[in-house]
Amino acid sequence: MDSHELLPCRGAPAVEWSSDEYRELFADQLRQATRSTHTARAYDSDLRHFRNWCSQRGVAELPATEPTVIAYLLYFGDPHGDRLPPVSLLKQSTLARRIAGIRDAHRRAGQRWPGGGEAGPDLVAATLTYIAVQQKSGVDSPVALSRARLLAVLEAIPDTHHGIRNRAMLQVGYYGALRSSEIVGLDLEDITFSEGSFLDRDEGMTIQIRSSKTDRKGRGQQVCVNYSGDRRSCPVRALQRWIQTRGSGDGPLFTNLWGNGVGQSSRLTTHTVTTILKQSLAKAGTDPSRYSAHSLRSGFATAAAALDVPARLIKQQTRHSSYEMVDRYIQSGSSLSQNATRYMV
């Protein structure tokens, strides 16, 4: 008899298993049933990242040793550590998620996780705590990307197939206030253009986000983006041009490209979004070290607040659960145009 037939959700009593075996099997089935497609994709990406790092150093990733996992965390997370260019620092929250994916891979492979247990304190968890403290004390949060700097970035991107894709991706991420995982998770079918003309500012496109960090139940979320009067920075027309270049085939919206510009079906990674933004900032003459993909989302919220866009509309676009979370994204304190002394001189 198939072991899965013994689980309650299959309608048969678990009479042939011990209590521990039953709990382990049922818990595993529940995890698989409730884990979203986005989570599974993220876990696969986490394992690939760890596997590549281990491969370069000739160490095993499954099962991983405690020193291997700790060295991996410190390499990418310690702001005082040495990293070979172009490797950039990863946030503690990103590393914590990667550890969750690597740990899940150990569990699915039936391998023991090297953190904690009878051996003593959980040094992996302690390392993540150390990284959080060091990053908080020594590294600033990503800077919000202003509209003026976004325009400079767009003008610096060459008008190649890669450039058309990158320009569209950055604008969709910015004006859609999307997370990097949401940007790369889009498929062509998730985009719907209105039938109206670009001359009408009430027209544009609707973005269907199938899974998101704040959409725990997987109901999906919609984001609307209007045409812009400035053709140079219109996200809708930029995306329409990329789709013409990409082609109308099903699959990921933003794909890899061969050197000759012919599209591949493979989906970009979240790391690629940050890399493209940093490279584009450098071409525009801006130091990219304090920017990340998060700068797009934070930049939109900051720019919208500076233009006196109602808070409810900013919250609607960012899809935050509270106005307090929206306020955390708005980096207006460092702006001379949004400063108390401006009204006193």
Q: Kindly list the domain boundaries of the chain, sorted by start residue.
A: 1-34, 39-138, 147-342
pLDDT tens digits, one per residue of 136-193: 765 556 788 999 999 999 999 999 999 999 999 999 999 999 988 899 999 999 999 9
Of all residues in the chain, what percent carry a pLDDT higher than 70? 72
Write the single-letter amino acid at 261: G
Q: Which of 305, 38, 315, 300 is nearest to 176 (CA)?
A: 300
8 A C-beta contact, residue 183 and residue 254: yes
Q: What is the pTM of this model?
A: 0.58
Buried b (16+ CB within 10 A) or exposed e, 183-222: bbbbebebbeebeeebeeeeebbebebbbbeebeeeeeee
8 A C-beta contact, residue 329 and residue 299: no
Has residue 282 got a pLDDT over 70?
yes
Q: What's the start-to-end Cα distance of the chain, in Å?
A: 82
Provide the β-strand partners of residue 257: 263
Helix or strand or coil: residue 255? strand
CATH superfamily of 147-342: Intergrase catalytic core (1.10.443.10)
CATH superfamily of 39-138: Tyrosine recombinase, N-terminal domain (1.10.150.130)
pLDDT of residue 345: 43
